Amino acid sequence: MLPTRNRNAWRRAAPPPIQQPRPPEPPRFSDWSTPAVSDSLWFASDFLLGAGMVIIQPSTQKIVLVHDGFSQSWFLPKGRKDVGETLEEAALREAHEESGYTAEFLPLLSGSRAPATGSRRNSSATTEPIFVSTLRFGREYGGNGGEYLTFWYVGLINEDAVREENTGMFDEQQYVSHLLSPQEAIEKLGNTGIEARIVQMAWDLYVHTYLSQSSGGEASQDPPPRRATRSSGSRDSGNGRQRR
């Protein structure tokens, strides 16, 4: 029998576990975007294209938000692109169907990377989308689900704009749109959700383009400060619908 002090001497210490290297974190392009996604490829049946719009009424400095009387949710007008329809056409159509207002595009100094005709970049106000968002959907559209890509535009309505009734689909008749201050709209959308952040940036860009004395009519390649100018009468909170 081995002496007690040497009883386990023949055993070798277990090697330390191999530390697997952590995969590098995806880069962030800016403070206004979520991290990059890996290169992807989706077949026609595995994705949807949609368009949404932030509608601003410059005369009142208010934003159009839609309220669903059934679900009691608040959201921006948006929806799927129809066959043969452009994203811009879809944005205007969905804005009219869901809000009842006839909007037009609002040029903004967004720093869009879309080049001007005959140039490698642009430095003027454009009506290009200010965001594109992705959302994974399930079997509600058939198949095994897929990715829903929504392109977000900014539009305007005039001071004398009148909301039309019954402009939506049969399942949208309970939608009622409201003109809210930017801060009210952000709070109704949940403050930090995707649509709240879209409204925040749309308002910041509007202020930067039309109300700031320092813009000088030329776009910066960086977006303006993140916080919106607070309008009077801000209150309440809520959440928006995620897809249609």
pLDDT per position as a tens digit, 29-58: 999 999 999 999 999 999 999 999 999 999
For residues 126-139, average pLDDT: 94
Question: How far out from the chain centre does Cα 158 lie?
Answer: 24
- Res 231: pLDDT: 35
Tokens of 202: 């749309």
Q: What share of the chain is helix, strand, coil (3-state, %, to 5)?
A: 20, 20, 60
Evaluated on CA atoms 161, 166, 170, 174, the torsion sign reads: positive
Confidence band for 77, pLDDT divided at 50, 70 and 90: very high
Of residues 180 and 123, which shows the higher confidence score?
A: 180
Is the Cβ–Cβ distance between 80 and 48 less than 8 Å? yes
**How many whole angstroms separate alpha carbon 48 and alpha carbon 64?**
25
Q: How many other CB atoms sit within 10 Å of the CB of residue 228?
A: 21
The domains of the chain are located at 45-114+122-244
pTM of the model as a whole? 0.79
Mean pLDDT of the chain: 84
What is the phi/psi pair of residue 171, to 5°? -95, 15
Residue 143's region, left for phi above 0, alpha for psi from -120 to 50, else beta, is: left
The neighbouring-strand residues paired with 196 are none
Residue 239's contacts (CB-CB under 8 Å, 6 or more residues apart) are: 73, 74, 188, 189, 190, 193
CATH homologous superfamily, domain 45-114+122-244: Nucleoside Triphosphate Pyrophosphohydrolase (3.90.79.10)
- Res 72: pLDDT: 93
- Go through 173-191 and write b for each residue having 16 or more CB atoms within 10 A of its CB, e for each that does not: eebebbbbbbbbbbbbbbe
The neighbouring-strand residues paired with 50 are 80, 150
